Structure 1
Amino acid sequence: RFSQNLAAAGRTGSHRFTRLETRPCDAVEAQMLDLSPGDPVHVVEGLSLADGQPLALFRSVLPGWLAGFCDQARDHQSITAALAACGVADYTRASTRITAKLANATQAVALQIPQGAPVLRSVAVNLDDRGRPVEYGRTWFAGDRVSLVLAD
């Protein structure tokens, strides 16, 4: 988890949400969240910071059955806290795919890096304690500001 991992490294994490909306899901989101295409999902996009420095851009898509999620995310400025407020006390990572990419113009501006600089894209799915998908997330990390360690 973003803030917990940064705190363990002696840094302070924060988020700036730039988009909070509920809309119908597309086919990929439906597959990743075990929904039917067109089912409602909550979408959160934003910027993750470490000690005020941009570290990552993210988009999280969560199932619409998490009633009130967008309001909770707005109030808490934390996906984990919003999930807890919606009854998901804990979750685990089901899968993560990491790919090296080059920053496009929009990513470069947001992350304060040159266009074409390396970014690490993470695509992940998180499950609640009943095994239901509760988050399908994509994150683009500034390649020179992060080290990702995957462990069981």
Structure 2
Amino acid sequence: MNPQGGKAFGILKAKQDDRLEAINKDFLDNPKYNTDEDLEEKLQAFKQKYMEFDLNNHGDIDIMGLKRMLEKLGAAKTHLELKKMIKEVAGDMGETISYSDFVKMMLGKRSVIAKIILLYEEKAKEPVKLTGFPMKKTFSDLP
């Protein structure tokens, strides 16, 4: 199966979407997480982010996917730092980050990766700073 494009790629992505959706349902049904405000919206956003960086489409983020993610966020890391981050999220035996681990990390907000992603998301929400001449102000504009 060629994961580069076409019908096979669409089938692979649909299967991945179904697997991740089933994991999202488990989180929605889990009393440890289901009290989290806007959980369903958060899980959908996490799923989209995760699928973007799951380069091999096998349902996990490997070291290259993590590298790509952090480079895109402007926070490039060394190979050793990437391995350490994966170990932090997946545990000592993991060489990849599963979707379930990814969601736990994001909901827990305790990981370095999560902090970087959340920081990037907040930067994206910041208003664009205007350049050029300042707008004229009057006394009525003062607080």
TM-score w.r.t. length of structure 1: 0.25
**More helix as a share of residues:** 2
**More strand as a share of residues:** 1
Which is bigger in relative contact order (C-alpha 8 A, separation at least 6)? 1
Larger-gyration structure (1/2): 2
